[in-house]
Amino acid sequence: MNTTNGFIDNGSWYKGNLHGHSTLSDGELTTDQLREAYKQKGYHFFAHSEHDFFSNFEHLNEPDFITLPSSEVGIRMPKGDYRIFHLHVIMGTDEHLRAATLEPLTHMQPIIWPDFVGYDTAQQFIDDMVARGNIVMFNHPHWSIVEWEDLIELDNLFAIEVYNHCSEWQENMGNSRILWDSLLRKGKRLWGTATDDNHNRFPLDSPYNDSFGGWVVVKAKELARNSIVDALLKGSFYSSTGPEIYDFRIEDNEVIFECSPVERIYMNGDGRQYQIEIGDNVTKLRKKLHGNEKYIRIECYDKYGKFAYTNPIFLD
């Protein structure tokens, strides 16, 4: 039997927010309040991605809840250039840190980069962060008014934010699914995440609040930075605003997908797939491949419009 799995074998599921802000930058909750709020909502990990400096709260990790050392760094654009380059830095595994050719970042270390001149400015930043033992993601591309032509120039990214809840909830500019598919069709292999990017300028129980709206669920060997980051790099996670995904694999040329009850399941790829399962409580999709697909990914939607999506399985 020939099987390609979308998730690693023999792991457990861990829910996390990769992008959030506290009073250390432009958020309204303290780091302690943020961690407690996410623990109460059943999350397993959180990244304090404060603006333009690195933070590391791993000393506060608990058996059932950890933080990922991280930062969101903005590269300033020339006057009149409406694009925004916000690059998200997450500490890599211990192996990444041992292999670092530049000094790893430390807690509360500022990260200031030269103003944008060209794509080399952004590429040098990404390469610098990777050389310090980190992984890098491009944040909220739709809100940032960038096009696929901007992102396809950049190497050493592991992912882009396909769904950014703050940008979507407050400005209707948080969904970058079309841009992601454009990059995938052109051969750019990037995983897609969903995050909150929460600032909590409204109370947690307010309908205007930007927490708990977009997350990743990682299938990893254990709840530890090494395992979570390794799973992120392998694409062993799905992103969601509501539904749960249980299985995604290709077995003997057949796509197999299972999820919590939803209204619609779509199979997408580099071409028109014309595959949909629809009903009151749909939980499965099975579809034979044509044989010429370059990648396949799945999206599912519940009756409230909440959705979840897999990363692609590449076939070429």
293/191 same-domain check: no
The DSSP H or E segment spanning 284 is strand 275-288
231/92 same-domain check: yes
pLDDT at site 291: 86
Give DSSP secondary structure letters for 213-266: S-EEEEEESSSSHHHHHHHHHHT-EEEESS--EEEEEEETTEEEEEEEEEEEEE
pLDDT in tens, the chain (316 residues): 687 999 999 999 999 999 999 999 999 999 999 999 999 999 999 999 999 999 999 999 999 999 999 999 999 999 999 999 999 999 999 999 999 999 999 999 999 999 999 999 999 999 999 999 999 999 999 999 999 999 999 999 999 999 999 999 999 999 999 999 999 999 999 999 999 999 999 999 999 999 999 999 999 999 999 999 999 999 999 999 999 999 999 999 999 999 999 999 999 999 876 668 788 899 999 999 988 899 999 999 999 999 999 999 999 7
18/96 same-domain check: yes
pLDDT at site 274: 60
pLDDT at site 311: 98
218: exposed, middle or buried (Cβ count in 10 Å: 0-12, 13-18, 19+) = buried
Contacts of 200 (CB under 8 A, 6+ apart): 27, 28, 29, 34, 209, 210, 211
Domain boundary at 196, 225, 241, which?
241
177/269 same-domain check: no
1, part of any domain:
no
pLDDT at site 273: 65
3, part of any domain:
no
25/174 same-domain check: yes
311/234 same-domain check: no
119, part of any domain:
yes
pLDDT at site 3: 76
Domain boundary at 209, 241, 273, which?
241
Q: Which residue has the tokens 């992103």?
A: 239
Domain boundary at 241, 268, 302, which?
241
46, part of any domain:
yes
Domain count, the chain: 2
- Are the C-beta atoms of residues 109 and 128 closer than 8 Å to each other? no
Closest CA to 49 of 129, 148, 142: 129
Range of the domain at 143: 12-241
102/192 same-domain check: yes
51, part of any domain:
yes
221/293 same-domain check: no
The CATH number of residue 235's host domain is 3.20.20.140
**How many Cβ atoms from other residues are within 10 Å of residue 123's Cβ?**
15
Closest CA to 72 of 91, 92, 57, 50: 50
The CATH number of residue 276's host domain is 2.60.40
pLDDT at site 1: 63
pTM of the predicted model as reported, rounded to 2 decimal places: 0.96
26/116 same-domain check: yes
Q: How is residue 110 written in tokens?
A: 């500022």
187/42 same-domain check: yes
Mean pLDDT across the chain? 96
How far apart, in whole angstroms, are the C-alpha atoms of residue 246 and residue 143?
Answer: 30
30/47 same-domain check: yes
